[in-house]
């Protein structure tokens, strides 16, 4: 699943390509992707004639801001956006096509069909599902130690699960949680209430730093991720923990291990990331 760095890279790429475009028609080939409104036909009719004025992001969600509407898009496992000329052919995995008056088309392609699209009147998107309970994004001003630390400190859940909880922090997924905890020297199965104030501060700082570095590298291509220009991310070349099982730790030389936390593959160094505080 694309995480914050990948979605941010897609956002920046698309913003360079299609801001100012006006929709001529929306072609929906798999209506089940459209979660709001209930009538997928109305989705297309609402956007017809609308100019795209901005593209924003909240955690793993893309927000396409038009003149009167905001489209909230989640890519889930395999969703991808790409821009083509209108005469470009599409394959069976292309499920929504946004045809522009400029004779270009934004394709939404999703092999697994897990992605979602919600359309709101502009200004209503943050007060309703799916954004209603999404926590602060590490790149927002609301990402503050004073707000997030108490949520961690009072929790008996393991820190890996806390960081994956999108109502606590938006945008972190398996890759960047493993990397964050490695750099913070925190075992993924430590509980939130076992962490000191300084450890929580370190975790939150490392989360933001890791995400910033990943954005600079265009995200991580582990399986199939590419940005909207078909370019792979490069951050996978500097992973310290995620997918590194059996490799020597770059700090201590011990072997990186893999376990499961709530059925998620989890990578850590048993020497640098002690389970006891």
The answer to whether position 79 is within a domain reads yes
251 in the same domain as 151: yes
Residue pair 114/43 in contact (Cβ under 8 Å)? The answer is no
Q: Which of 93, 127, 161 is the last residue of a domain?
A: 127
Distant-in-sequence, close-in-space partners of 216: CB < 8 Å, separation ≥ 6: none
pLDDT higher for 199 or 223? 199
Q: What mean pLDDT, rounded, does the chain reach?
A: 96
Average pLDDT for 119-133: 98
Q: Rounded to whole angstroms, how far apart are CA atoms 144 and 128?
A: 23
Q: Which of 23-32, 84-93, 229-238, 261-270 has the lowest mean pLDDT?
A: 229-238
Average pLDDT for 18-47: 98
User: Which residues does the annotation mark as catalytic?
Assistant: 2-3, 60, 264
The answer to whether position 136 is within a domain reads no
Domain that holds residue 109: 4-127
For residue 162, give the CATH number of its domain.
1.10.8.50
Q: What is the pLDDT of residues 137-173, one digit of tens each?
A: 999 998 999 999 999 999 999 999 999 999 999 999 9
| pLDDT given at position 92 | 96
Tokens encoding 48: 């017809």
225 in the same domain as 160: yes
157 in the same domain as 60: no
For residue 81, give the CATH number of its domain.
3.20.190.10
Average pLDDT for 185-196: 98
158 in the same domain as 120: no
198 in the same domain as 102: no
| pLDDT given at position 177 | 98
Domain count, the chain: 2
112 annotated to a ligand binding site: yes
pTM for this prediction: 0.95
164 in the same domain as 63: no
- pLDDT at 263 exceeding the cut of 90: yes
93 annotated to a ligand binding site: yes
| pLDDT given at position 1 | 81
pLDDT band at 59 (very low <50, low <70, confident <90, very high): very high
| pLDDT given at position 277 | 56
Q: What is the pLDDT of residues 92-120, one digit of tens each?
A: 999 999 999 999 999 999 999 999 999 99
What separation in angstroms does the CA of 38 have from each of 18, 72, 140, 149, 256? 27, 15, 31, 39, 47
């Amino acid at each position: 699943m694309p995480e914050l760095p990948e979605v941010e890279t897609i956002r920046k790429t698309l913003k360079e390509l299609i801001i100012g475009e006006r929709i001529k028609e929306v072609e929906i080939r798999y209506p089940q992707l459209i979660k709001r409104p209930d009538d997928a036909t109305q989705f297309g009719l609402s956007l017809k004639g609308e100019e795209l004025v901005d593209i924003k992001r909240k955690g793993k969600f893309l927000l396409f801001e038009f003149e009167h509407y905001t489209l909230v898009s989640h890519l889930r496992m395999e969703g991808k956006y790409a821009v083509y000329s209108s005469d470009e052919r599409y394959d069976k995995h292309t499920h929504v096509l946004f045809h522009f008056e400029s004779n270009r088309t934004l394709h939404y392609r999703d092999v697994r069909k897990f992605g979602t699209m919600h359309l709101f009147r502009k200004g209503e998107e943050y007060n309703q599902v799916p954004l209603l309970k999404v926590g602060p994004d590490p790149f927002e001003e609301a990402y503050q130690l004073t707000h997030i630390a108490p949520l961690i400190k009072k929790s008996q859940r393991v820190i890996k699960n806390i960081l994956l909880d999108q109502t606590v922090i938006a945008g972190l997924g398996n890759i960047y949680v493993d990397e964050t905890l490695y750099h913070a020297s925190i075992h993924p199965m430590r509980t939130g209430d076992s962490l000191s104030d300084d450890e929580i501060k370190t975790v939150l700082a490392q989360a933001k730093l890791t995400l910033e570095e990943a954005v600079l590298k265009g995200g991580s291509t582990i399986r199939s991720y590419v940005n909207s220009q078909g370019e792979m991310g490069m951050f996978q070349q500097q992973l310290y923990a995620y997918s590194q099982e059996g490799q020597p730790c770059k700090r201590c030389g011990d072997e990186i291990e893999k376990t499961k936390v709530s059925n998620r593959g989890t990578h850590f160094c048993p020497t640098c990331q002690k389970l006891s505080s």
